[in-house]
Amino acid sequence: MDRTHSSINSLLEQATCIARRSKEAAGEAESTEGYKRRQTEELIKFANDNGLWIDLSHLNITYMDRGGENEVFHDGNVSVVKLNNFEYAGDDLENFFIRIAAHNKFFGNVPYQMIGFAYNSQQEFCAVLVQPYILAEREATEDEIAAYMQALGFEMDYYDEYHNSDYEVFDAVPNNVLYGIDGDLYFIDTQIRLRS
């Protein structure tokens, strides 16, 4: 983890703990949808109590795109701001925080930094993430992605899915992995989960 941004990494760690504690408190008595709702409520309370709401109107950013889980903005310089609506976390928000931590572990050349919370244009509760903007020569090829993942100790399951003993990485397709002008690969938007 990048300790030059320890307060930001602390936010990610604190949010992870809140999601985990909320799920543990619910136990088996509550449906998975119920504890995701409880996790969201606890994170909203955490944001309120700690002044962690990001007002996008105060940021000098331009809308770029929207995907299944992110609204993406660019600051015109070095950063991308993503509003992540937790869609791909499934029924447990802890999955999202595990994914971000694993992304930063394996793809540290393009780390996520969590800076707070906001509501997106659909009024969905979101984590606000900042990621470096990558100057890319092109999208990476499937062969380049496979070689990179194998160098990290992952085995290929399908052309866009890999695993090691602890994690599964999927959606590692060319439009989610950039070939930078420096010749390095940048995994900007893959999915990661713990192996079951």
pLDDT (average), residues 45-66:
95
Total number of domains in the chain: 2
Q: Which domain holds residue 29?
A: 3-132
Give the full edge-to-edge strand order of the sheet including 161-163.
155-158, 161-163, 167-170, 191-194
CB 191 within 8 A of CB 89: no
Cβ-proximal residues to 38 (8 Å cutoff; 6+ apart), any chain: 22, 23, 25, 26, 30
Q: Which helix (H) or strand (E) holds 185?
A: strand 185-187
- Greater model confidence, 6 or 167: 167
Q: Looking up tokens 């990001």, which residue turns up?
A: 54
Quick one: 56 and 71 in the same domain? yes
Total Cβ atoms within 10 A of residue 50: 12
Quick one: 147 and 114 in the same domain? no
Structure-block tokens of residue 5:
């941004």
**Is pLDDT above 90 for 53?**
yes
pLDDT digits (tens, 9 = 90+) for 134-157: 999 999 999 999 999 999 999 999
**Is pLDDT above 70 for 26?**
no
